[in-house]
Chains A and B, each alone.
Chain A
């Protein structure tokens, strides 16, 4: 009987490992064929059809660009932020506000204190009331926030044929695709393809959901003259201003990633140590021997 038991157990174990190998094999085949198919032909057919919107309604998917700040160990390209600020100031700020950024935020990021002070002083801010109860105008200080192009949303709409230019402070965080999307949008203006009707006063941009965007193409080669002599091509300006806007959206990014590495160092060390301590404490339990002393028969 014992022999039979042993042999059934042996076949059982063999069957079990055989079925396990079959499961692993089938899963590997499934995952592998999906990976191969998607690498050859894009998404799977039944998934590609699953979007509720047409491709035009969703907007063209932006390409992935190698941003200087993209990877886990990467930081902002600060000279690009500086050039991007120049593009914002000379081009975008005609219509778009940047409410969450104060002059002081630029200090040490893209400009020196003296440079920022000089830039702030060029703008007049309303302050007060003074001793006579009057509001007065004074030059800007580091603590002042970026001046908005329009006093209120209604004025902004009136100045832009009914369309409201959104605030750009959080723009990169507030759109699917982030920096890639904004860059693609800025450089993606083309003539509408045949058969596509763009409403009066709208412009065609395949990256914008729906295709019709109120903002016209603004960046053209040579529009700004960079201090550092970088050629101001359309793509260069788009890259710089998107770097700048990525910074305005996440000004903490450089420090955050540095702290992340510190956290990983500390916590992975603590995890490793706690694993050793756990093994050390449990070794008594793991190596104990339990045995059962049956009462002697006929006691």
Chain B
């Protein structure tokens, strides 16, 4: 209906679908930037925490929206994702049927998912406002990781006009997708009407959920798999604690820079694995990639920080500081 009989309805729907993907591209870049430059460190831990909640809520909203066209992928994606709740011990199955409003994904599910897909973005907008209010407590960080209070420039005109470039560039890129390859980021099976009697050969989520889908599938226990998937997002909340380094950001920490790019590689590896059939060699590689994902947070980040701090301490103890004593910094005299 909207695609064919509403004037430019196809444009509305293609923009809506592709902007969802672009939203995730920007948010992933934003999170990566935050990890690289240590934006999560005190005093901005609250900003970071709200950001993680925004990410989780955003994924929920995107999933709810993906169900609404009610093609094959919508139906079976909804079946897979809602069934994850059945992993909750004891009340899981009852809980899932409560979400469904029946005994499978059905019209009642579709109805409430539509309402939620409409309402939750307002919550997301409120969270985004909170994200910015908490940011403005201390202001933005910068790539050097040091205070920039001595040299601040006003938002207008400098950042307004700088951001304008990115805004037009974004619209340009978005237009290329909307007008020339509107279905490139989607799955062709979703143009087959939902059919509860026929399972598609492979059920895959949209690209932005693939890394987490890969983590879910890599853990052979259902409850642990669901916990792992949720944990893979929530573990971001622990970054302010896990980063033991005294230096903000990775700019001056070669070891951390290497670790950061290893993590990015692992993220894309998981994204690829999530799109593949659950078969060897993907299962083994997926398990290794999942272990690395968690190990990066729990082991790599703290250890890198401790190693760096220790090396710094050794270099600056008086006994080792002969070099600097022999070559003192020229005084201003």
**Given contacts A53-B277, A100-B4, A267-B175, A282 and B158 within 8 Å (CB-CB):** yes
Cross-chain contact A209 with B201 (CB below 8 angstroms): yes
- A residues near B192, Cβ cutoff 8 Å: 166, 170, 174
Cross-chain contact A278 with B201 (CB below 8 angstroms): no
- A residues near B151, Cβ cutoff 8 Å: 290
**Given contacts A1-B327, A173-B188, A264 and B172 within 8 Å (CB-CB):** yes
Question: Is A190 an interface residue when CB atoms closer than 8 A count as contact?
Answer: no
- A residues near B176, Cβ cutoff 8 Å: 260, 264
Q: How far is the CA of A175 from the CA of B201 in the complex (A)?
A: 13
Question: Is B269 an interface residue when CB atoms closer than 8 A count as contact?
Answer: no
Within 8 A of B (CB), among A262-299: 263-264, 267-268, 270-271, 274-275, 277-278, 281-282, 285, 290, 294, 297
Question: Which of A100, A209, A281, A290 is close to B157, meaning CB atoms less than 8 Å apart?
Answer: A281
- A residues near B162, Cβ cutoff 8 Å: 278, 282
Question: Is A188 an interface residue when CB atoms closer than 8 A count as contact?
Answer: no
Per-residue B-contact encoding for A42-73, CB less than 8 Å = 1, 0 else? 00000000111100000000000000000010
CB distance from A82 to the nearest CB of B (A): 20
Question: Is A259 an interface residue when CB atoms closer than 8 A count as contact?
Answer: yes
- B residues near A191, Cβ cutoff 8 Å: none
Question: Which of A72, A175, A256, A261 is close to B188, meaning CB atoms less than 8 Å apart?
Answer: A175
Cross-chain contact A260 with B180 (CB below 8 angstroms): yes
* Interface segment out of the listed B37-45, B134-142, B163-171, B219-227: B163-171
**Given contacts A50-B276, A263-B179, A274 and B188 within 8 Å (CB-CB):** no
Cross-chain contact A263 with B175 (CB below 8 angstroms): yes
Question: Is A138 an interface residue when CB atoms closer than 8 A count as contact?
Answer: no
Cross-chain contact A274 with B172 (CB below 8 angstroms): no
Per-residue A-contact encoding for B179-215, CB less than 8 Å = 1, 0 else? 1101100001101100000000100000000000000
Question: Is B153 an interface residue when CB atoms closer than 8 A count as contact?
Answer: yes
Question: Is A117 an interface residue when CB atoms closer than 8 A count as contact?
Answer: no
- A residues near B260, Cβ cutoff 8 Å: none
Q: How far is the CA of A268 from the CA of B179 in the complex (A)?
A: 15
Q: How far is the CA of A174 from the CA of B281 in the complex (A)?
A: 29
Q: How many CB-defined contacts (below 8 Å) exist between A and B?
A: 90
Question: Is A217 an interface residue when CB atoms closer than 8 A count as contact?
Answer: no
CB distance from A272 to the nearest CB of B (A): 9
Cross-chain contact A285 with B153 (CB below 8 angstroms): yes
| Minimum CB distance partner of B186 in chain A | A173
- A residues near B188, Cβ cutoff 8 Å: 173-176, 178
Cross-chain contact A259 with B276 (CB below 8 angstroms): no
- B residues near A252, Cβ cutoff 8 Å: 3, 10-11
Question: Is B161 an interface residue when CB atoms closer than 8 A count as contact?
Answer: yes
Place the interface of chain B in its size category.
35 or more
- B residues near A278, Cβ cutoff 8 Å: 161-162, 164-165
Cross-chain contact A277 with B332 (CB below 8 angstroms): no
Question: Is B333 an interface residue when CB atoms closer than 8 A count as contact?
Answer: yes
**Given contacts A271-B168, A297-B333, A259 and B191 within 8 Å (CB-CB):** no
Within 8 A of B (CB), among A1-49: 1
Place the interface of chain A in its size category.
35 or more
CB distance from A108 to the nearest CB of B (A): 15
Per-residue B-contact encoding for A242-266, CB less than 8 Å = 1, 0 else? 0000000101100011011101100
Query: Which residue of B168, B183, B192 has the most chain A CB atoms within 10 A of its CB atom?
Result: B168
Cross-chain contact A256 with B10 (CB below 8 angstroms): yes
- B residues near A290, Cβ cutoff 8 Å: 151
Cross-chain contact A72 with B276 (CB below 8 angstroms): no
**Given contacts A173-B188, A277-B164, A72 and B10 within 8 Å (CB-CB):** no
| Minimum CB distance partner of B169 in chain A | A271
Q: How far is the CA of A251 from the CA of B3 in the complex (A)?
A: 9
**Given contacts A50-B276, A100-B4, A176-B188, A281 and B158 within 8 Å (CB-CB):** yes
Q: How far is the CA of A1 from the CA of B277 in the complex (A)?
A: 63
Per-residue A-contact encoding for B310-333, CB less than 8 Å = 1, 0 else? 000000000000000001000011
CB distance from A64 to the nearest CB of B (A): 15
Per-residue A-contact encoding for B285-323, CB less than 8 Å = 1, 0 else? 000000000000000000000000000000000000000
- B residues near A105, Cβ cutoff 8 Å: 4
Cross-chain contact A256 with B179 (CB below 8 angstroms): yes
- A residues near B276, Cβ cutoff 8 Å: 50, 52
| Minimum CB distance partner of A263 in chain B | B175
Cross-chain contact A251 with B4 (CB below 8 angstroms): yes
Cross-chain contact B277 with A52 (CB below 8 angstroms): yes
Which residues does A use to contact B, with CB under 8 Å?
1, 50-53, 72, 100, 105, 166, 170, 173-176, 178, 209, 249, 251-252, 256-257, 259-261, 263-264, 267-268, 270-271, 274-275, 277-278, 281-282, 285, 290, 294, 297
With A53-B201, A274-B167 known, 15 other A-B pairs at CB within 8 A are A51-B277, A105-B4, A176-B188, A251-B4, A256-B10, A257-B179, A257-B180, A260-B176, A271-B169, A271-B172, A277-B161, A278-B161, A281-B158, A282-B158, A282-B161
